[in-house]
Amino acid sequence: MPEGQSGTIVLVSDGIATCTPPPVCEVAAELADQGVDLVINTVGFNVDESARAELECIAQAGNGTYADASDADSLVAELKRAATRTAVGYESDLEQIDGNSSQTSLTPIPDDVELFKADLPALDNKDGEVTQYWSIPVEDYERVQVTTSYVAPVTFGLGNDYLSIRNELLFGDEQDQTCHRSISNDQILDNYGARPLVASVESDVIGDKCDTDELVLAITRSQPFNWEEELPVEIVVKRLNHADTSGLPLGDQQREIPDLDVAAVQTWAPTTGGSWFTNATELTPGEGVEAEIVPGENHVYRLPMATGQQLHGFVEVVENTAPDDPGVTDKLGVAVYSPTRQDAGVDMWTDIAPREGTSEYFAAPVALTYLNMFPAEGGFGTTSKATSTFTFEGDYYLVVHYDDLSGSTIRDASNQQSFPLRYRLAADAFGDAEPGPVFEKVSATTSESSSPSTQPDEPAQNTATEESSTGISPLIVGAIVALILAFAAFASWLVLKGRKK
């Protein structure tokens, strides 16, 4: 097996080993002692007590499970369970750009970088905190949105510990002034769940409250979870230029949409969801997926969304191979994230008991429009975290996660005795796509009427009357044209009159 890789072996036997030494159980134990990342699951097919004891010993030494099979059907079922037990974790080939511990020596984030990974240092003690700093070049009239995603190991809950990540955008000679908007979600604090944990922050318009050509990104980790280890994160930096938002649907507009028509789903294609945002499996409208998941695992899917559309979907537990235990608090959930990985929050969760036949419909609270990102002033915009998530056109991520809502223990999903759950998922974008915002690069010659204080991204109002590119009402333009034509006609009459004389 290649160095750094993990694997699973399924060993099926109908009797005790007869072609050794050395004893196979001792071989399995030796592999584990050598640090080989290998899980050995065993299945006994109509075996006696001595053979069962040997197979159980091998499974225990190989961090796997043992199961009995008495006929062809049970053998197939146990092989399937053993082969799909191990969870799939995170893999990434993104550029690594670590921050600096000093505000006087910032790590620059180049203009063309929108996504990178970094490690936040370990804490000195479980009650401490540590901050890393980067610089982001900015121009007048821009906004900046930053989302930090904690790249969790394949674990089942954070136990009784907490994790906190805080994003801040600073500026000024001493980097002592903040450039935050009220919608910012600049902290995560959680003690359960396998789903991706994210923290987001947005800047105000550059050039007004944030008069600078460079923002300082400060990311702080604290709380005792894994405090002695580095914390791997991925960071999304979204730069938003001046936008023409005339004609966009109003923000924060709630509407009733029908449940997804499950009867119209033609196929439920067997699949394996992606393990992270960067390798998400695309969902096709009108088609569903069916997959197996084990505790602690995330399955990540993506669904393209356009302005005016509203996300809705359906999830169902098809089969659960775990023994029925009334004390288990495991749940199957669906979390939703924006193209910039903003978390829609608990309002968008779907958490259902992992019993066969249990199902649930879910839907976004509002239709997608860029105006959802602004404060609710002048009849548009929102201050709701869930609503502001549905702002940008692009791929929205649905993360199916299977975890323990009690949060009382940490279970290593890549190394535990667990049972797969099979589910179905379908999602679609309801409604017709409408034209989205047009982002423009603002030049230094922009008129004073579009000063940063008026927030050029935000229209003063959103009415059916459109303005021309000059900002003058079409009615006024029409009146001016009419006057010019009348004057021209009058001038022509004077010329003709002079010729007759």
Residue-wise pLDDT for 132-183, tens only, equals 999 999 999 888 999 999 887 655 454 567 888 999 999 988 888 999 775 4
User: Reduced to 3 states, what is the DSSP secondary structure of residue 399?
Assistant: strand
Q: Which of 38-47, 51-60, 126-135, 401-410 has the lowest mean pLDDT?
A: 401-410
User: CA nearest 184: which of 217, 147, 214, 209?
Assistant: 147
Among 63-77, 110-124, 218-232, the minimum mean pLDDT is found in 63-77
Helix axes 24-33, 49-61, angle to 10 degrees: 10
pLDDT bin (cut points 50, 70, 90) of residue 55 is confident
Within a 10 A sphere around the Cβ of 431, how many other Cβ atoms? 17
Q: Indicate whether 251 pLDDT > 70.
A: yes
Percent of the chain's residues with pLDDT above 90: 34
- pLDDT of 138 reads 93
Q: What is the pLDDT of residue 134?
A: 97
Tell me the pLDDT of the chain averaged across its residues.
77
Split at pLDDT 50, 70, 90, the class of 209 is confident
Yes or no: say if 285 and 264 are a contact pair by the CB < 8 Å rule: no
Contacts of 478 (CB under 8 A, 6+ apart): none
Alpha-carbon distance 61 to 187, whole Å?
A: 41
Average pLDDT for residues 88-99, to the nearest whole number?
Answer: 80
Give the lowest-confidence range in 13-22, 286-295, 424-433, 486-495: 486-495
Report d(CA 183, CA 373) in Å as an integer.
8
- Binned at pLDDT 50, 70 and 90, residue 18 comes out as low
Per-residue pLDDT averaged across 444-453, rounded?
Answer: 38
Whether 288 shows a pLDDT value over 70: the answer reads: yes
All structural domains of the chain with their residue ranges: 7-83, 107-244, 262-430
Mapping DSSP onto H, E and C, the string for 129-149 reads EEEEEEEEECCCCCEEEEEEE
Q: Do domains 107-244 and 262-430 have the same CATH topology?
A: yes
- Average pLDDT in the 52-56 region? 87
Q: What is the mean pLDDT of residues 368-390?
A: 69
Tell me the residue length of the chain: 501
Class of domain 107-244: mainly beta
Q: What angle do CA 55, 60, 61 make, to 5 degrees?
A: 100
Single out the residue of 186, 287, 200, 189 nearest to residue 236, CA to CA: 200
Q: Quick one: how far is CA 179 from the chain centroid?
A: 24
Which residue type occupies 423?
A: Y
Q: Which of 37-41, 47-51, 94-98, 121-125 has the lowest mean pLDDT?
A: 37-41
Q: Where is pLDDT greater, at 89 or 67?
A: 67
Query: Taking phi first (over 0 means left), then psi (-120 to 50 degrees means alpha), and beta for anything else, what does residue 353 get?
Result: beta
Nearest CA to 217 out of 236, 198, 189, 197 is that of 236
Condensed to tens digits (0 to 9), the pLDDT of residues 264-284 reads 998 999 988 888 898 899 999
Q: And the tokens for 133?
A: 């700093």
pLDDT, one tens digit per residue, over 314-367 is 999 998 877 665 555 678 889 999 999 988 775 677 788 888 899 999 999 899
Handedness of CA 216, 221, 222, 227 (dihedral sign): negative
Provide the pLDDT confidence category of residue 34 given band limits of 50, 70 and 90.
Answer: confident
Q: What per-residue confidence (pLDDT) applies to 217?
A: 95
> What number does CATH give the domain 7-83?
3.40.50.410
Mean pLDDT of 411-435: 78
Give the class (CATH, top level) of 262-430: mainly beta
Residue 26 pLDDT level (bands cut at 50, 70, 90): confident
Q: Is the pLDDT of residue 5 over 60?
A: no
pLDDT of 115 higher than 90: yes
